[in-house]
Structures are given as C-alpha cells and as structure tokens.
Chain A
Amino acid sequence: MLMIKNDRLSAAVRYSVPFVLVPCLAVLGALVLDESRHLLVSLIAAALALLLFAAGFDKKKIGTRRMVICAVMTALAFAGRFIPFLNPITAMAIITGIYMGSEAGFLVGSLSALLSNFYFGQGPWTVFQMLAWGLIGFFAGALSKPLKSNTVFLLIYGALCGVLYSFIMDIWTVLWYNRGFSWGLYAGAIVSAIPYTASYVFSNVLFLFFLFKPFGVKLERIKTKYGI
C-alpha cells in the first residue's frame, strides 16, 4: 500500500521479480543446483515474494488513517501472541483483510509475524511465516464478500488456514533438516506437529467466532465515522 515510496526502486522490483528473478531462480534451481539447494531456493523465493508485495502496494495511495489503523491491528495481533497456547495472528490478519482490504491484511499478517518473532525467536522461518500469514490476510481480503456474509464459511476458512499454515511450515522444517524433500520425514513432521496444528485450528476458529463480529462492528463504525 505504501511500502516502497521510491518510484524507480518499486518499478524495478515490480518488473524484475516476476519476469526475471523468479524464472531465473526456478530454472537455476531445476537445472544447475542439486536437491540440497532447495532450501536456499525456497528461502530466496519467499523473500522475493515479500519484496514483490511491498512494491506492489505502492500503486494505490491510501491515507495516513488507514496506515495507523494497520499499525493498531498489528500491535493487537502482536500483543495477543503472548496468550499461552493460542495464536490470534491468523484471526487478526483475516479480520483486517476482510474489513480493510487485501493489502492491509497482508501487511498486518506479515508484520505481526516479524515483530512477534523478536520475542518468540527470529529465524529463517520468519520469512515463511511472514509470507504465510500475509497471504492468509491477502486472500481473506480477496474473499471478503462471501466471508463476511457467511459465518460457517468464515470458520471453515479459518480452520483451513490453520491446517495449511502448519503443513507449509512443515515443508520448510523438512527442507531445513534433510536438505532435500522426503515424504517419510514430511509425514513424521506432520504427525509430530499435530498438537500445534490442532492449536492453530482451535485458536483460529475460537478467535474468529468471538472476535469477528465485535471487531467488524468497531471497524465499520470507524470507517463510516471517519470515512476511510
């Protein structure tokens, strides 16, 4: 939405990442590098995707008020991660995505991952968490109409996001440990992550069920009151 202000820099990123860098990386990863470099390729691809989002947001100019609301939602998601065993970041990213648009959802998801990891441990997984939570918020914004009108669909989306988030992070765990993908290890990782997956699904459904309506009312009120 407002990430990279410099026009030339953002244009360079916008065109070079999807048309030059990612194809080069894919071809290089498939032909030149062997299996043990999949970790590197995936890490670079995720970082490039984040950069692309940062550059793409520049096109629409959205005011200061929206930006500050994003900061507020990020702070709430970040503070909510201190609740033991539960994780409200997905729910907050979805709520922001639905009510404030895809870009705000992406921003809140990815920034709360980045910031909260300063307390929960930064690592190479931060890039994947940022991308995963950002995309969850982004798609919630894209699907905002059906999600807003149908609570069952919303809860299913939340549960699905929890499962997919866990599965995507497990791919990364396997790549990191084994330097190459292995179905046996992946199955092992999924099984060992069942408590986490369950906690993600549970907290997504719980937070969406309890917070979606009140947050929606408050955000809609702010939107009509101040005309954001």
Chain B
Amino acid sequence: MKTLESSNPIVLFFFFLYVTALSMFISFPFLIIISLFGAMAYYYSSPAPKKGSFTVFVWVLFLVLSAANPLISHKGETILLFINNRPITLESFYFGLNSSAMIVSALYWFRTLTVVLTSDKLIYLTSFLSKNLSLIISMSVRFVPMFGRQRKKIKETQLAMGLYNDDSIVDDIRSNIRVFSILITWALENGITAADSMEARGFSLGKRSCMRQKRIDIFDIMLIILMSALFGITLAGRLFGGMSHSFYPRLSISFNGIKDTAALLSFALLAFLPVILKAEVSLRWHLLKQRV
C-alpha cells in the first residue's frame, strides 16, 4: 500500500470530492463530527506550513459563527434568555454549532487539499479536461518566480546605473514604478518570444499530446473502487431516509439502528482513509528498518 499523496492524483481528486460533498451536503451532526476529526487528523499529519495560526483562525471563526446564529435566528421553542426583547433559543444555538462545525471541517479539508494537491498534480488533472488549459496553468506557475528573479535583475541594473536614491521616499517610489514598468514590458516581450519559439517547434501543428508522468496502477484503481463504494453506502443511507434530523422547532435526531450505523461507519472509514494509509506505510517502514 502507499499513501494517498503518493497515489495517482485522480485518487486524490475523488477522495476530496467524496468527502467534502458528503460533509457539506449531509448536515447530520454525527457525520459532521466524524468529518471534523478525520479532517483534523489528516491536516495535522500533513506537512502544512503555519499550522498554529490556521488553528487559531479556524477556532475563532468557529466561535464567531456559532454565536452569530442565535443572535439572528429566533426560531425554536426552548428559550434560554432575552436580549433586547428578542428570544435566544437553544435550538438556534444548536443549529449554529452544527453549521459552524461543518464549515470548520470543510476549511480543514480544503486547507489539506491546498497542501496536498501540488501544482504538478493540478496540471495532471486539468490535462484530462484540456491540454491547453494545463499548459497555461503550468506557464503561469512558472512565470511567478521568474518575474521575481527578473525584477531583482532589473533593480540591480538600475542601481548600477545610479538611478536609485534610497534617501528620499519620492525617488524610491518613482524608481520602483520604473522597475515595475520595465518588468511588464519585458514580461510581455518574453512571452511573445516564448510563443514564437513554441510555434517554431511545431506547437500548433496537428494533434497535441500531453506528458503524463504519473501512471495508474492496480492499487490506485482499487482505492477508487473502495472510496466509491464507501461514498455510495453513505449516500444511500441518506437517500433512503436515514440520518434524518431537524433543529426547528425542537431538536430531533433519529438514529435508526443498522442503516445509519452502516452509513456512518463507511463515512468514518472514508474520512480516516488517508491517516490509515499513512499509518500503515510508516508502520511497514518501521518494521523494515528493524529487520535490517
């Protein structure tokens, strides 16, 4: 087995599609709790930068959002207190809590997606829709650091020509504008040169193919089938009337035995799949090291 990140990007795409679709569109409280924990486990085990500040941001947002709903919505029959003669109800508090937990779990999933889906994987995925689209994306991604380097070069040249004067702010701004203007002209001209050299190599002749560095192996296919099956079970559980709940006028969560248990279990397996795979890989690596 291998981790989800080292599998084919298609596997990654389906995983995030399934898991975010289920946790966003089935707002069953237990499912959202599972989704939240799965997302947090995946996020904190991924090599994401600035985990601390993201955590603070997300949980402050959670508090604000869950406080917002009871202040705005006054539905529900259990009244806790009155503020400005408006009732604050327990049900509306629960609804806010549920919605903000859903939003926080989705934020965790998408933050992990941002870390895990690197630009080469994005280019691979878009190449199925359109080869030109993936070409434009790859060129833009390359241009950003290239412009940064070129900006530095232009600035150094201008410095060497003695056109800069760091003492006065007006002069500083004017020379920065000058560097920016030169950079834009250079970027456009450079783009034309690149396009011409592409043309000279026969870019627009005939049918184009796209280099795909990643192959689909049997394990990827098995993972896709497994994930689709888990997604299907959870979705079927919802479509056939399971996991029904309502917040207004009174909180009611019906949990009818085997059907909901199966749906929630398969969702839990789906949500924790990346962490399980990661644990298996690192455990195997550990055992292999011990054997040496």
Report which A residues bind B (CB closer than 8 A).
Answer: 2-5, 36-37, 39-40, 54, 63-65, 67-72, 74-76, 78-79, 107, 111-112, 114-115, 117-119, 121-124, 176-179, 182, 184-185, 188, 214-215, 218-219, 222, 226
Contact = CB atoms under 8 A, between A and B. Distances in A.
Interface of B: 20, 24-25, 27, 65, 68-69, 72-73, 99-100, 103, 106-107, 110-111, 113-114, 117, 119, 122, 129-133, 135-137, 139-141, 143-144, 147-148, 181, 184-185, 187-192, 194-196, 198-199, 203-204, 207-208
Contacts of A178: 69, 99
30 contacts: A2-B132, A36-B27, A63-B204, A64-B198, A65-B192, A69-B188, A69-B195, A72-B140, A72-B188, A74-B136, A75-B139, A75-B143, A75-B144, A78-B140, A78-B144, A79-B147, A79-B148, A111-B140, A115-B141, A122-B113, A122-B114, A122-B117, A124-B110, A176-B24, A178-B69, A179-B27, A182-B72, A188-B72, A222-B189, A222-B192
B212 to A, nearest CB: 16
Given A36-B27, A179-B99, A184-B73, A79 B144 contact: yes
B139 A71 contact: yes
Given A5-B132, A75-B140, A182-B73, 9 more contacts: A64-B198, A64-B204, A68-B192, A74-B136, A79-B147, A107-B136, A121-B111, A176-B24, A218-B184
B103 A214 contact: no
B122 A118 contact: yes
Contacts of A117: 114
Given A68-B194, A121-B110, A177 B65 contact: yes
Contacts of B113: 122
Contacts of A70: 136
B184 A5 contact: no
B188 A222 contact: yes
Contacts of B133: 3, 54
A124 B144 contact: no
Nearest to B203: A64
